[in-house]
Amino acid sequence: MPSLFKKIPQNPSQSNVKQRNSLLIPRSERRGFFLLFTFMTMLGWIGGGIASLALEKILRENIPDYFAQNELLWFRIAKLIASSLFALIFAADQSIPLSKYISGWSWMIATAIGWLVANTVSQAWITYISHIAASTNEMSIQAAIFFRILPTAAYIFSGLWLGLLQWLVLRRYAKNALWWNIVPSLSYLIISISIFLTASVQSFIPAIHRDVSLYLVTQGITALILAVIPAISFCRLRKAVNSEQ
């Protein structure tokens, strides 16, 4: 005898609504993802920084004969190679916790290229602004403040390049993710404010340890912010309908 209590099939419209509202990072996995992404990002920052500095030092100390007459060009090439190594390590470490939800390879390539572009654009603008400020003989207080703010603004807005490259990957997996374009710039803004506040209290640090302490603190703050802000942002993304990894 057929049961009178048959399972009522789910309404297709309800299923579609549930799919459209599903998060890219499920709520049950948020804490684990946040901790792992933060750890791997900070590890990539520290490991990539150490590796890039070591590589740049080796390249600077071993100048090829072809560049013997143009050491400045070789130093620029060495800097680019070292920066590329850092970007790859940093992006690769981030891609490990993300590979469960999006393409890890795509994220690694986009982040590495975006980081290099953002860093190059930022440095170019900062150098240009510094050159203009140095060539100005007489400068008012307002102009001096303006030229101090401009390099920071160039650094902050350079994050749009990184955000754009990352968004090109995320748009396949998350819906309405256009706001991700400003996430790196938001991170850079918070980093700039944090470093400014740190510098304002440097007089309380003993002079003998001041430089090392400030360097370690600023690097730690930078790594932490670059990890926490994107991790929180990932937890806010909603999964695109029919997205495939």
Average pLDDT, the chain: 86
Judge whether 170 and 104 are in contact, CB under 8 Å: no
Average pLDDT over residues 68-91: 90
- Nearest CA-CA partner of 188 in 225, 213, 217, 146: 225
Q: Percentage of the chain surpassing pLDDT 90?
A: 57
Please report which confidence band the pLDDT of residue 21 belongs to, taking 50, 70 and 90 as the band edges. low
Residues whose CB is less than 8 angstroms from the CB of residue 104 and which lie 6 or more positions away in sequence, other chains included: 95, 96, 98
- 1 pLDDT more than 50: no
Mean of pLDDT values over 51-65: 89
- 155's CB contacts (< 8 A; 6+ apart) are 122, 126, 188, 192
Alpha-carbon distances of 28 from 31, 97, 100, rounded to whole Å:
8, 15, 14
Asked whether the predicted pLDDT for residue 178 surpasses 70, the reply is yes
